[in-house]
Structure 1
């Protein structure tokens, strides 16, 4: 019962932490552009990959205005923005590409639930990117209670010839996808923005498998610890992983609804030929959700095992103490009788009384130990 109360308190605290910073927008009108997030990248890095079946260009872009020249090209332009603290960059993109202010507001407010929204000329998608903290990846033997997950909101704007991706931090998450685009023989070069959108979502979703593999290693480590010698640190590790799993489930479970909404969409920006690829992503999302639920049940089982192990250890201690007490109770009884010092106790005058008493002191424990062993109490 106490452990359940701890988990409930931790869950409530995590929920409160997830909404910290939203008070910045209190009292502001809808569409007010204010960055709300946990990552404070001062500079926004703009990366551009412009490609067509026979051409590839990765120009250096300093300002949003530099993107306007790609409007006249018959190619697919992927714009990757990393770092959202500079609100002006997002505002300029919205102005030049006619994006609704409420969408821009959701991009900058990084506590959004994963979702899919359709507009006349573009689509808006929000996902959560989950990665294991660097120290957890670098050291596989790190204690389970040091297992940390980074949560990052990734927003995607899909236009006719443009795809904008907004990330909170700078990393190499999409580097494998960029390498695929550089490969001229790849399928992605011959398809449109819908396939590029699929590839981006697939990269984000597949990153969760890496996270779950790491989670599986931590759970195995806890399980081995439970079988060897569980202690209070084991309980701390289980509670920490349960709290992380609550966050992981809240970030990944809406992805099923998101991908299902994409499959149901009949928007002109999504063609039917990419449905098969999104169905594959949907299968991955289902596997991730099932794995998260399985790990939640496993941690609940490990918690039960921990309680049972501690109870068994306590029972062994109590059994040993009870055996010692059972042995010394008759000895104490005999010593108590002959310690009363009554004058007319006949045994006090016997010549062999003292040796006889020691014979009883030795014989009684031996007989009791044999009896306990026969009863399988030892």
Structure 2
């Protein structure tokens, strides 16, 4: 499947609001996980159905319900019916190529983001994260099991920080904070190698290094593809007029905005740096080619008069007076050495050798 643009053949001809899964199926069956907490208690469970999630939400406190695996459209429909999610929202959840965005509704806010992670082959992968943020309920939808929220879960379990004393919008902000910090970590890992390329480009350019530069340009382009709309989404969320993200959330949204700006600027920086590496590589290779051409040109120039002399005395004319002399052969070589040596000395004085 294409990394930069996913096919939407299944959605062709469908009306707006049609809940159709678009993307790669990454799990055998969906998995529901629920964390319900208040300042005193924490409860974790894996409910069997969306109805069980509704029941957990009715017991008070803050509820974080997470669905791993989006290919079962019937579960999304049940979430829509149980929590009054519009069909257009469910359509965005099921479409894993959805552009990051933030939208405010009457009772909740919908956020679509991208989580980045780095594979063992240094290839960047992206996964869609969708959120429906209510005052005391946070619904998150992921493509597969495994995310960057272990630190947040640990803070909830241990009661460290303010997360247990806050509501669902704060929890959503904490999750987005983890997403952006992980994006920065991915960029930092790529950046370490990109910065190291600078000396190699100047000292030891090779076809393998050129291939690596192009690989990293592709990965940075992939990161920028997701970070630019992520940055727009965070800025829009910071300007939200929803009561869910009121004045008490402004400091946390400002910090999130700073992280988004930092990640986007770092990606732009390394994109430019890779462009500089490529230009430097081409410059070094051009200089090496110029050195080779200069050597060959000087070499050919030295041999032009030597070839002329050898050509003159290599002609098969019968009457050539010099050929009959006893010292003609050593004189010929003396002339050749004198011409060649003199031209070499001259070129060295000129700095051409």
Tell me if both proteins adopt one fold, taking TM over 0.5 as the criterion.
yes
Structure 2 residue ranges without an equivalent (≥5):
none
What is residue 205 of structure 2 aligned with on the other side? 230
Alignment of 1:134-153 (within 5 A): 135-136=120-121, 147-153=122-128
Greater than 6 Å deviation, 4+ residue runs: none
In structure 2, what is the Cα distance between the partners aligned to 1:184 and 1:213? 30
Residues 124-163 of structure 1: matches in 2 within 5 Å? 124-133=110-119, 135-136=120-121, 147-163=122-138
RMSD of the TM alignment (CA)? 1.7
- 1:121 maps to 107
1:198 aligned partner? 173
Match of 1:309 in 2: 284
Conserved 8 A contact 2:4-2:222: no
1:22 corresponds in structure 2 to 8
The answer to whether residue 63 in structure 2 is matched with residue 58 in structure 1 is no
**Cα offset, 1:314, TM superposition:** 0.8
Match of 2:73 in 1: 87
- Whole-angstrom distance in 2 between the partners of 1:41 and 1:323: 67
Mapped contact 1:56–1:182 kept (Cα < 8 A): yes
Question: Residue in 2 aligned with 1:210?
Answer: 185
Q: Which residue of 2 aligns with 1:9?
A: none
Deviation of the 1:343 alpha carbon: 2.1
CA offsets per residue over residues 250-285 of structure 1, 9 Å max, x none? Answer: 211122222222222221222311110110010111
Structure 1 position 374, deviation (Å): 1.1
SS of 1:35's partner is: coil
Asked whether the 8 Å contact 2:33–2:66 carries over to 1, the reply is: yes
TM-score by length of structure 1 reads: 0.89
- Cα deviation digits, residues 111-160 of structure 1 (max 9, x gap): 11111011111110011111111x13xxxxxxxxxx31101111011012
For the residue of structure 2 that corresponds to 1:95, the secondary structure is helix
TM-score by length of 2: 0.95
Partner of 1:178 in structure 2? 153
Distance in 2 (alpha carbons) for counterparts of 1:223 and 1:324: 34
Would you say how many aligned residue pairs link Structure 1 and Structure 2?
A: 353
What's the CA shift for 1:39?
A: 4.2
Q: Give the structure 1 partner of residue 271 of structure 2.
A: 296
Q: Which residue of 2 aligns with 1:343?
A: 318
Mapping 1:35-54, distance limit 5 Å = 35-54=21-40
What residue in structure 2 maps to residue 10 of structure 1? none
Q: Hey, what's the Cα distance between the residues in 2 that align with 1:279 and 1:204?
A: 15
Mapped partners of 1:342, 1:272: distance in 2 = 105
How far, CA to CA, are the matches of 1:262 and 1:106 in structure 2?
Answer: 17
Partner in structure 2 of residue 71 of structure 1:
57
Secondary structure in 1 aligned to 2:243? coil
Between the aligned partners of 1:328 and 1:308, the Cα distance in structure 2 is: 30
3-state SS in 1 of match to 2:42: strand
Q: Identify the residue that residue 20 of structure 2 maps to in structure 1.
A: 34
Secondary structure of the corresponding residue to residue 341 of structure 1: coil
Q: Deviation string for 1:235-257 (max 9, x for gaps)?
A: 32222222222221121112222
Does the CA contact (< 8 Å) of 1:51 and 1:75 recur in 2? yes
Task: Deviation per CA, 1:190-225: give whole Å up to 9, x if none.
Answer: 011111011011011111111111111231343233
Question: Secondary structure of 1:257's partner?
Answer: helix
Matched residue, 1:249: 224
